[in-house]
Structure 1
Amino acid sequence: MNVVSIYTRESFLYRLVNVTLRENDLSKLENLGPFCWLLFHCDCSSTFRTLGYADTLYRGADLDNTTIESYKQAIGLVKTWDAFSSTSKNRIKAESFGNTLFIINLAKSTSYRFSGMDISSLSAYPNEEEVLIRASRNFRVENVEQDNSTGKYLIYLSLC
């Protein structure tokens, strides 16, 4: 079992790591730091180099009105996602989660070999077609709109 497989399991670890990163909770550094370091750097290993991914991705989320408004106000600006982010290559799968769909243009970055790792083959849920985006990625907010037929918010992001 590798660090990605452990991360993708539906367990306390997945939630704890992401909450800790989003809240910048340094009190958990001693316990979670080594795991986060391994996960953050796993795309540098030869095992993971073939998993790099750059294309359109989707992430469903349940956002409150304040957060949706903050994305509307940030059109043309950059937002940082501090936590690791699980996304999908499959829009239909992602649309089943929450009231918001992030549509992410994940083109190859000049700063990194790849900004996403296709971890479908390593994931506890391979049918979700999961691509993992590393923590601390910057995205430009391109547009925010509401789908009239579903009521779902669509937030368009592109990698900076």
Structure 2
Amino acid sequence: TLALPAAAKNTTVYCGVNLSSEQIEQYRRITSLPEANRKCGQLCAFTSTSRNKEKAQEFGNVLFVIEIAEADGCDVSLYSEFDEEEHLLEPHFYFSIKSYLFDNTINKWIIILRLLNL
């Protein structure tokens, strides 16, 4: 059996993705609600992220900044063919959307998520 190391306690991982205008608007609508009224979302599949923010910024029109805890996913950088400090999030993680903004310096939407342990 292959043992994969857990992430460091309270760390941040990044994921650059392409979202449509409609998908981006959904995040805007959610973040306009008071935090107590926001529904949580779910990552339904394995999700590849990076601990390297600059590497993740190379992809897509949206940068997800994902706050994770020690047991959220695993560091697969030793086993990855890519030099991107890959961190794999397992399926069925729930998250809350903390904030949403456009960063003019990198010309991307930044969406900050926090994984929840439900």
- The TM tier, using the shorter chain, reads 0.7 to 0.9
Deviations 1:7-58 (A, max 9, x none): xxxxxxxxxxxxxxxxxxxxxxxxxxxxxxxxxxxxxx6622xx11141000
The structure that is helix-richer by fraction is 1
Aligned length: 108
* Larger fraction in strand: 2
SS at match of 1:74: helix
Unaligned runs of at least 5 residues, structure 2: none
Of 88, 113, 118 in structure 1, the residue corresponding to residue 75 of structure 2 is: 118
Normalised by the length of structure 1, the TM-score is 0.64
Structure showing greater Rg: 1
Identity of counterpart residues, as a percentage?
35
The structure whose RCO (Cα within 8 Å, separation 6+) is larger is: 2
* Partner Cα separation in structure 2 for residue 66 and residue 154 of structure 1: 15
Gaps of 5+ in 1: 1-44, 109-113
Q: Does 1:87 align with 2:67?
A: no
3-state SS of the aligned residue for 1:93? Answer: helix
Give the aligned CA root-mean-square deviation in angstroms: 1.4
| Residue deviations 1:79-105 (CA, integer Å, cap 9, x gap) | 111111000000000000001100010
Q: SS of the residue aligned with 2:3?
A: coil
State TM-score, norm by structure 2.
0.85
